Amino acid sequence: MNNDGGSRSRRLGAPGVAASPAVATAAQAEILTRLRSYDDPVGVAELASAARQHPNTLREHLEALVAAGLATRERDTPLGRGRPAYLYAAHRAEASPAHAALLDALAGHLAATTPKAGEVAVGLGRTFAAVRLVVEPQSKPSHGRAAQQLGAAMAGLGFAAEALGSGRALRLLSCPLRESADRNPEVVCGFHLGMVQAVATGAGLDPREVRLVPFAEPGACRLELAQPMPRTAALT
């Protein structure tokens, strides 16, 4: 591998389940999403050019992602004299078949035996997010920053999150539970909805503003932040 700034192959397949909770800030979320789009480790110069950021600023974000367990760092192949540059990659811990089968079985059991299984799954997602996800506090609610935080949360769970032009919507690719979601969308997608609702609440927004559209397009779901709703009718 080299670090000459040339383009590298882009990944279209599903990544493994992320091993760490999402602790990235809004600025780091964009970098983590970019890292997840590469098959191979990538250097600071190439990422800085793609993200249109100064290499020093980008390096700080990358080191924070490494410290959080969301990215890995390795030395490039030595070429000539001098210490080779670092290459970075998004951390991907592949889920074992047994692990995936267990999650699928639990989702199926919940769907088959629990009344209003979707509502229960939403509650589970909220509980998970409240315990496992770290949300960057905001002094003033912002849909744009909230969308970035939602992207960071989903990326930390193994999704590839792409911001859409409005700044208030995300395209979610490479769902780590795609096959289970095909069989039990009420449970799996309900869990993800509850999780992003909790993240939105932590960002100072009304959780009812979050809309998750499963399979909104081939191979992708869509996460939207609707127009603000009256606080007098806030979801509890």
Question: 56, 90, 124: which is the final residue of a domain?
Answer: 90
What does the pLDDT read at residue 4? 43
* Whether residue 103 sits in one domain with residue 79: no
Kindly state whether residue 19 falls inside one of the protein's structural domains. Answer: no
Distance CA 190, CA 193 (A): 5
Instruction: Give the domain range for residue 203.
Output: 97-233
Q: Is the pLDDT of residue 223 over 80?
A: yes
Q: What's the CATH code of the domain at 32?
A: 1.10.10.10
Task: Give me the CATH number covering residue 228.
Answer: 3.30.1380
* Model pLDDT for residues 143-158, shown as the tens digit of each residue: 777 777 787 778 777 7
The average pLDDT across 49-59 equals: 90
Write down the pLDDT at residue 132: 73
Number of domains composing the chain: 2
DSSP codes of every residue in 49-80: HHHT--HHHHHHHHHHHHHTTSEEEEEPPP-S
- Predicted pLDDT at 200: 83
pLDDT, tens digit (0-9, with 9 covering 90-100), for 95-148: 567 877 888 999 999 999 999 999 999 999 999 887 776 565 666 767 777 777
> 126 and 75 in one domain?
no
Within a domain: 2: no
One domain for residues 134 and 78: no
For residues 83 and 115, state if they share a domain. Answer: no
